[in-house]
Amino acid sequence: MKKALLVVDVQNDFCSRGALAVKEADSIIPVINKYIELFEKKSLPIFASRDWHPKETTHFKDFGGPWPTHCVMDTFGAEFNCRLKLTSKTVIISKGIDKEKDSYSDFQAFTGGGEAFLDVLKRFNIDELFVCGIATDYCVKASVIDALRYGFKVNVLVDAVKAVNLSSDDGEKALDEMNKSGAVSLTFERVGKIISD
């Protein structure tokens, strides 16, 4: 069984000047790149998810949902931030394609070939995930909670996540909830040691 890195939604619309910009999201990109480099060096799989919505979806305010329009598939806003250094072997999964579902969790995401994320993880023999990205209080949290529910060991890379914080403590609360559900909070130095063991 293997460890893998999961990079959640580091897309233009969630970064500075994006349609749904998360405060200071850009500041975690260099840290995420360090994690990518570490996992790449150890030949461990890297997965990157993206929010990938149709133009009209009940996820958007204009159609009765909670959010401004963001990450519309095949637009600049939905592209990964250009400073994110994904490797050529990174497996990209997309979620939010269903126009009647919010799909915050990466376990509602699929590869371009239509393979569900859970099946991809089984195919790669993954039993432990290291999760970073945007946003702590939405897609990171939903993905972490689902991963724990499916029996994965889950680590949250707390130096490489950022929260929307509609309420100022949403990010803190989300981390609490993830930890109480069984996730372990880690930072780069510790992960480096774990991966090297």
Residues that bind Zn ion (CB under 5 A): 51, 96
> What is the Cα–Cα distance from 58 to 61, expressed in whole angstroms?
7
Smallest distance, Å, CB 97 to Zn ion?
Answer: 11
Enclosing H/E stretch for 74: none
- Catalytic residue at 9? yes
For residue 106, give the nearest of 132, 142, 136, 81 by alpha carbon: 142
- Catalytic residue at 15? no
Place of tokens 């724990």: 148
Q: Which is nearer to Zn ion, 38 or 161 (CB)?
A: 161
**Contact by Cβ (8 Å): 165, 39:** no
Q: Which is nearer to Zn ion, 16 or 87 (CB)?
A: 16
Query: What is the token pair recorded at 59?
Result: 């996820």
Q: Which is nearer to Zn ion, 51 or 106 (CB)?
A: 51
Beta strands at 46-51 and 2-8: parallel, antiparallel or unpaired: parallel
Catalytic-labelled residue, pool 15, 71, 132, 139:
139
Q: Would you say how long the chain is, in residues?
A: 197
Smallest distance, Å, CB 192 to Zn ion?
Answer: 32
- Catalytic residue at 132? no
Query: What is the token pair recorded at 61?
Result: 């305010």
Smallest distance, Å, CB 89 to Zn ion?
Answer: 26
**Contact by Cβ (8 Å): 143, 2:** no
> What is the Cα–Cα distance from 82 to 155, expressed in whole angstroms?
26
Catalytic-labelled residue, pool 26, 71, 95, 137:
95
Return the residue nearest Zn ion (CB atom).
51
Query: What is the token pair recorded at 87?
Result: 């490797």
Q: Which is nearer to Zn ion, 174 or 186 (CB)?
A: 174
Smallest distance, Å, CB 50 to Zn ion?
Answer: 10
- Catalytic residue numbers read 9, 95, 139
